[in-house]
Amino acid sequence: MDRLTIRRPDDWHLHLRDGAMLSLVAPLSADMGRALVMPNLVPPVVTGAQAAAYRDRIVAAGFARPLMTVYLTEGTDPADLIAAHAAGIVTAVKLYPAGATTNSGSGVQRFDAIRPVLEAMEEHGIPLCVHGEVTDPDIDVFDREAAFIDRRLMPMRDAHPDLKITMEHITTVDAAAFVRETGIGATITVQHLMANRNDMLAGGMRPHFYCLPILKRRRHQEALRTLATSGATNVFLGTDSAPHPTHVKEAACCAAGCLTAPIALAAYAQVFDEEGALDCFEGFASLNGPAHYGLPPNEDRVTLHRGDPIAALPALERGETVVTPFDPGRPIRWHVEGNGGC
């Protein structure tokens, strides 16, 4: 198969930022119908009113159909959440353990404190998206996801069996097994499917591969590729495309995040092609996510074809803001038609 037409995909995990960066990156997700937009701005999006205002800024910047999240804190007001969800302003709530990643300082430290909010979400059918890493400094950074499953996720599922959970950007054999066994939702990024920690660290340290959860060993990458292309209906596309200015990535202390939006759809298609699973691509990219969130799939279609390798993208600039798109370091041969580059 060297040509494929599928329902238009959605991106179930996207960072768009604000201001100049927002206007620079919003158009880069044009292949996607909808995107679930993360709330880790500075300061974070913590109320329904803030989510509505951010939604308007995103639409003005050129991405037409954002779906909004709010950032869960120990002070989240369940009534505000319930009202914003019922009004269609908020699609899901994002849980960051405090200190786990970029702009997570307002996240959750005392998990007991969020019990009432999780109970309200469970009762009202409000989905929870989880950044699944512990922040305990005694836990090695490569083990933080596996520890989170044992210490946090399993107890959370037991305490809130009807809460709809998405484990975001899974990176390990352990998470893949947990997702298979439990059937909870999960997203997988392009970089975790296309790369492992050797790509980031062997022969020199490449900051544009640095994200959180961090890239793991090859055997973890292989488990993710197997799961993504298995036809499992609880696993879906979420890029976690996360722009940082180039000077912040290429620094002594590099920020976590890969700007994958411009190549994401083509790169996912390449992975499915390499795994001989293009027949499962529409499920992963366009059907499983909407089904998880109780939304209809997109009606329009997108066509991709295999051809010559796409050229590495240059840095993108707007005024003082410069960003470097993610380059997996090997050719991507899939092209999204109608996307300039095909």
145 binds, among Zn ion, ligand DOR, none (CB under 5 to 8 A by kind): none
User: Could you tell me which stretch among 75-83, 171-179, 239-247, 260-268 binds Zn ion (CB under 5 A)?
Assistant: 239-247
CB atoms within 10 A of CB 126: 23
Contacts of 139 (CB under 8 A, 6+ apart): 147
Cα(58)–Cα(52) distance, rounded to whole angstroms? 10
**11 contacts Zn ion (rule: CB under 5 A):** no
| Per-residue contact flags (x/-) with ligand DOR for residues 122 to 161, judged by CB under 6 A | ---------x------------------------------
A 10 A CB-CB count for 131 gives 25
- Which DSSP category does 26 fall into? G
Is residue 289 within the footprint of ligand DOR (CB under 6 A)? no
Among 133, 199, 240, 282, binds Zn ion (CB under 5 A): 240
Residues 35-54 that bind ligand DOR (CB under 6 A): 40
Build a one-symbol-per-residue string for 194-213: x at contacts with ligand DOR by CB under 6 A, - elsewhere: -----------------xx-
- With a CB cutoff of 8 Å and minimum separation 6, the contacts of 143 are none
Q: Which residue in the set 11, 12, 15, 238 belongs to the binding site for ligand DOR (CB under 6 A)?
A: 15
Q: Is the Cβ of residue 243 or residue 304 nearer to Zn ion in the bound state?
A: 243
Q: Where are the beta strands (DSSP E) in the chain?
A: 3-7, 11-14, 35-37, 66-71, 90-95, 128-130, 165-167, 185-188, 235-237, 301-306, 316-318, 321-323, 334-336
Minimum distance between the CB of residue 227 and Zn ion, rounded to whole angstroms?
A: 19
The per-type count for the chain, helices as H runs and strands as E runs, is 14, 13
Give the tokens for residue 202: 């062997």
Q: Which residues are catalytic?
A: 240
Q: Name which of ligand DOR, Zn ion, none residue 40 binds, using a CB cut-off of 5 to 8 Å depending on partner kind.
A: ligand DOR
CA-CA distance, 37 to 337, in Å (whole number)? 25
Report which residue type is found at 57: R
Shorter beta-carbon distance to ligand DOR: residue 256 or 342: 256
- Number of residues located near ligand DOR, criterion CB under 6 A: 11
Q: Nearest to residue 208, comparing CAs of 38, 41, 323? A: 323
Q: Is 257 in the site for ligand DOR (CB under 6 A)?
A: yes
83 counts as binding ligand DOR under rule CB under 6 A: no
Task: Kindly identify the residues of this chain, within the stretch 94-113, that bind ligand DOR according to CB under 6 A.
Answer: 101-102
Q: Would you state the structure tokens that stand for residue 35, as one six-digit string? A: 């995107």
- Give min distance, CB of 305 to Zn ion, in A: 30
Binding site for Zn ion (CB under 5 A): 240
Binding site for ligand DOR (CB under 6 A): 15, 40, 101-102, 131, 211-212, 240, 242, 256-257
